[in-house]
């Protein structure tokens, strides 16, 4: 099929996420390899968001493809009530090799479902009702996960589910009133407000606090020093489950297997998806603590999915974890994070339109600002389509990513080399020059 025909059929029959369909104009992709993909006309693109921050091992990994082919040939499906080698092995591998202090895993198909099931488990285990989550968060698009989500993608799922409470999670660059002397002081302020809110909501009826360990699509917001430890302490004080959503931040993205490992905390539950199979096959899940696993020894786990722990996903997950280890990608992410930092610092210094740039490992976000240093489009309201123009310009030069509010994600596959990262930043530099001259 020729490129134009593919695009025409796509536009005629497919509905695309988060877009008014009329002006949506997808790139027709022909092939993909490593950190690149090529369109139907042979144009090459740097995949600088690793698709949806999920293709950590890059495109075209032969080992994972082979594992999927072998499993499809042997037995693609067996219902979730049966024990099968790949199902046992993936769970063992995650628990024993990555989070030995946790207990068991309930596998889902993706991230939203992981959060849905974590909400239910928190309520089942604690017997409490309320669920706290941050305004600056995205936890998925299904009904429960969308209610957990704080940002505007929540609105079409409202009126919300009773008992879902939002709090302001830390974002020091946008703190409008108080100037804090240190990160630690800001963390203590946020923690005091959170605890106060918990008390006003009835501290005995809070089942869980959900947080993206590092907030992803809402800005790569890295928790200030002491914040996560403080949330852990609040959870312990009131018997609340601490749930770290690691759907985007997990699997090496921040330079650790899971983002929470950058701090001295252990969550009660970890929700994950994306990087466990890097898109080669969909799978997600909830990792629960030993205490929660123990609870469900005697109490029924009222959770179920036809495709829970799908065998092709399990085979892909095992191979993907092997790839992370064999290619030393977790450490590579940390090392390349230093290069990313240096490139971001240069960009900030050289361009008035570039504001705060944050990164942890290869998880990064670049903010565009106006002449006064405020967000170039505040609160995702962009009537002039400024961010669309920036994304379009980047695309023209062969750099693909997505935007949110006034920011663009810079979170390439973890296999990126120093040379490739610098080349991609040459494009970003050119586009920032264009923004300085045309959009400020």
Piece of 98-106, 132-140, 183-191, 362-370 that binds ligand PLP (CB under 6 A): 132-140
Q: How far apart are CA 297 and CA 287, in angstroms?
A: 15
Counting contacts by CB under 6 A, is residue 406 touching ligand PLP? no
Position of minimal CB gap to ligand PLP: 111
**Residues 231-260 as x/- pattern, contact with ligand PLP by CB under 6 A:** --------------x-xx------------
Does the footprint of ligand PLP cover residue 116 (CB under 6 A)?
A: no
* Residue 391 in the binding site for ligand PLP (CB under 6 A): no
- 154 touching ligand PLP, by CB under 6 A: no
User: Quick check: 286 binds ligand PLP (CB under 6 A)?
Assistant: no
Cα angle at 414 between 93 and 99, to 5 degrees?
Answer: 25
Query: Long-range contacts for 78-84 (Cβ within 8 Å, ≥24 apart)?
Result: 78/311, 79/306, 80/107, 80/304, 80/305, 80/306, 80/307, 80/308, 80/309, 84/311, 84/314
219 forms part of the interface with ligand PLP (CB under 6 A): no
Half-sphere exposure of 48 (CA within 13 A, CB side): 29
Pairing relation of β-strands 354-360 and 363-368?
antiparallel
Contact with ligand PLP (CB under 6 A): which of 28, 32, 52, 380?
A: 52
Tokens representing residue 84 in the block:
């099968």
Beta carbons of 336 and 411 less than 8 angstroms apart: no
Of residues 399, 387, 392, the one with CA closest to residue 424: 399
| Shortest separation between residue 271's beta carbon and ligand PLP, angstroms | 7
Nearest to 249 by CA among 224, 203, 289, 217: 217
Choose one: 79-87, 107-115, 377-385, 394-402; the region binding ligand PLP (CB under 6 A). Answer: 107-115
User: Which residues fall within 8 angstroms of residue 154, CB to CB, at 6 or more apart?
Assistant: 146, 147, 160
Q: Does 56 bind ligand PLP (CB under 6 A)?
A: no
Tell me if 71 contacts ligand PLP by CB under 6 A: no
Whether residue 135 contacts residue 210, with contact meaning beta carbons closer than 8 Å, is answered with: no
Closer residue to ligand PLP, CB minimum distance, 348 or 380: 380
CA angle 139, 57, 213 (to 5 degrees): 30
Q: In angstroms, what is the minimal distance from the CB of 107 to ligand PLP?
A: 13
153 contributes a contact to ligand PLP by CB under 6 A: no
Q: Is 32 in the site for ligand PLP (CB under 6 A)?
A: no
For residue 407, state whether it binds ligand PLP (rule: CB under 6 A).
no
- Residue selected from 71, 117, 217, 289 as contacting ligand PLP according to rule CB under 6 A: 217
Number of residues near ligand PLP (by CB under 6 A): 16
Q: Nearest distance from residue 432's CB to ligand PLP, in Å?
A: 26
- Which of residues 212, 268, 367, 420 is near ligand PLP by CB under 6 A? 212
Q: Which residue lies nearer to ligand PLP by CB, 106 or 138?
A: 138
C-beta closer to ligand PLP: residue 249 or 431: 249
φ, ψ for residue 252, nearest 5 deg: 85, -10
User: Nearest to residue 379, comparing CAs of 174, 82, 201, 87?
Assistant: 174
What is the C-alpha separation between 104 and 293, in angstroms, rounded? 6
CB of 152 to ligand PLP, least distance (A): 15
| The residue to which tokens 């990555």 are assigned | 98
Contact between 35 and ligand PLP per CB under 6 A:
no
Distance, CA of 265 to CA of 262 (rounded, Å): 9
CB of 141 to ligand PLP, least distance (A): 7
Identity of the residue, 140 or 412, whose beta carbon is nearer to ligand PLP in the bound complex:
140
- Can you tell me which residue has the tokens 């082919």? 69
* CA–CA distance, 357 with 93 (Å, rounded to integer): 35
The answer to the question of residue 132 lying near ligand PLP (CB under 6 A) is no
Shortest distance, position 368 Cβ to ligand PLP, whole Å:
21
At closest approach, how far in Å is the CB of 431 from ligand PLP? 24
Q: Rule CB under 6 A: say whether 272 interacts with ligand PLP.
A: no
Check residue 305 for interaction with ligand PLP (CB under 6 A). Answer: no
- Measured CA to CA, the distance from residue 6 to residue 403 in angstroms comes to 25
CB of 323 to ligand PLP, least distance (A): 20
Does position 111 bind ligand PLP by CB under 6 A? yes
Task: Write down how long the chain is.
Answer: 440
Using CB under 6 A, pick the residue from 273, 288, 292, 339 that binds ligand PLP.
273
Q: Please say whether the beta carbons of 209 and 242 come within 8 A.
A: yes
Binding site for ligand PLP (CB under 6 A): 52, 110-112, 115, 138-140, 212, 216-217, 245, 247-248, 273, 284
């Amino acid at each position: 099929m020729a490129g134009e025909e593919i695009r025409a059929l796509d536009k005629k029959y497919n509905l695309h996420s988060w877009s008014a369909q009329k002006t949506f104009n997808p790139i027709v992709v022909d092939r993909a390899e490593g950190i690149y993909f090529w369109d139907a006309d042979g144009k090459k693109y740097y995949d600088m968001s690793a698709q949806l921050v999920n293709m950590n091992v890059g495109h075209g990994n032969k080992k994972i493809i082979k594992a999927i082919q072998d499993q499809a040939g042997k037995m693609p499906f067996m219902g979730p009530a049966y024990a099968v080698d790949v199902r046992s092995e993936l769970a063992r591998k995650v628990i024993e090799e990555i989070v030995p202090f946790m207990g068991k895993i309930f596998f889902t198909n993706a991230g939203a479902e992981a959060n849905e099931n974590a909400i239910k488990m928190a309520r089942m285990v604690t017997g409490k009702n309320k669920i706290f989550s941050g305004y600056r968060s995205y936890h998925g698009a299904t009904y429960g996960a969308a209610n957990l989500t704080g940002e505007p993608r929540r609105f079409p799922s409202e009126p919300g589910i009773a008992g879902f409470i939002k709090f302001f999670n830390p974002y020091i660059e946008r703190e409008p009133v108080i100037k804090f002397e240190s990160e630690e002081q800001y963390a203590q302020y946020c923690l005091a407000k959170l605890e106060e809110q918990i008390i006003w909501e009835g501290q005995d009826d809070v089942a869980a606090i959900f947080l993206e360990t590092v907030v992803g699509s809402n800005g790569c917001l890295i928790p200030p020093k002491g914040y996560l430890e403080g949330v852990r302490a609040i959870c312990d004080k009131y018997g609340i489950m601490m749930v770290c959503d690691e759907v985007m931040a997990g699997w090496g993205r921040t330079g650790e297997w899971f983002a929470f490992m950058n701090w001295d905390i252990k969550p009660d539950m970890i929700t994950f998806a994306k990087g466990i199979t890097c898109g080669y096959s969909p799978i997600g899940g909830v990792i629960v603590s030993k205490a929660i696993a123990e609870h469900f020894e005697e109490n029924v786990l009222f959770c179920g999915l036809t495709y829970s722990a799908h065998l092709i996903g399990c085979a892909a997950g095992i191979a993907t974890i092997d790839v992370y280890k064999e290619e030393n990608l977790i450490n590579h992410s940390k090392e390349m994070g230093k290069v990313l930092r240096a490139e971001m610092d240069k960009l900030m210094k050289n361009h008035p339109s570039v504001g705060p740039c944050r990164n942890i490992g290869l998880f990064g976000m670049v903010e565009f600002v106006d002449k006064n240093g405020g967000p170039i489009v505040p609160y995702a309201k962009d009537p002039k389509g400024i961010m669309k123009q920036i994304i379009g310009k980047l695309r023209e030069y062969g750099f693909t990513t997505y935007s949110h509010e006034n920011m663009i994600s810079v979170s390439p596959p973890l296999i990126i080399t120093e040379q490739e990262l610098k080349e991609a930043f040459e494009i970003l530099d050119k586009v920032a020059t264009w923004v300085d001259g045309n959009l400020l």
